[in-house]
């Protein structure tokens, strides 16, 4: 019985050791791949920001057009509404402001 426990313990340690080695190898491969991608990633990010800057004006023009279309489609957004009268009877004044406590 004692030999079986020792054998299982050694098998567990061997498995853990082998898994650790495989993990380290794979980890090192991923680190190398990450370093390669880092250089190309910096280029991608730089290109992205250049593209964003160059298309910013186009985007703002399209946004303005959409805003104007929305105003035309919903004319009530252009109307200025009258200020509402509050319970205190004056515009912009709360009941607490009107009544001195």
CA–CA dist 53, 61 (Å, integer): 14
Q: CB–CB of 94/88 below 8 Å? A: yes
Q: Is the pTM of this model over 0.75?
A: no
d(CA 47, CA 45): 5
Query: What is the reported pLDDT for 99?
Result: 60
How far apart are alpha carbons 73 and 94 in whole angstroms?
A: 35
- Residue 87: CB partners within 8 Å, gap ≥ 6? 95
Phi, psi of 91 (to 5 degrees): -75, 130
pLDDT tens-digit map of 5-56: 989 998 999 999 999 999 999 999 988 888 887 777 677 777 888 887 778 8
Comparing 18 with 92, which gets the higher pLDDT? 18
Taking residues 85-97, what's their average pLDDT? 55
């Amino acid at each position: 019985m004692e030999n079986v426990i020792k054998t299982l313990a050694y098998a567990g340690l061997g498995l853990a050791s082998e898994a650790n080695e495989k993990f380290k190898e794979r980890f090192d491969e991923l680190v190398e791949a990450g370093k390669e991608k880092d250089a190309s990633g910096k280029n991608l990010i730089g290109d992205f920001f250049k593209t964003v800057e160059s298309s910013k004006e186009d985007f703002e023009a399209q946004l303005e057009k959409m805003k104007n279309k929305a105003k035309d489609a919903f004319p009530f957004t252009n109307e200025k509404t009258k200020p509402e009268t509050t319970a205190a009877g004056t515009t912009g004044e709360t009941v607490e402001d009107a009544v001195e406590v």
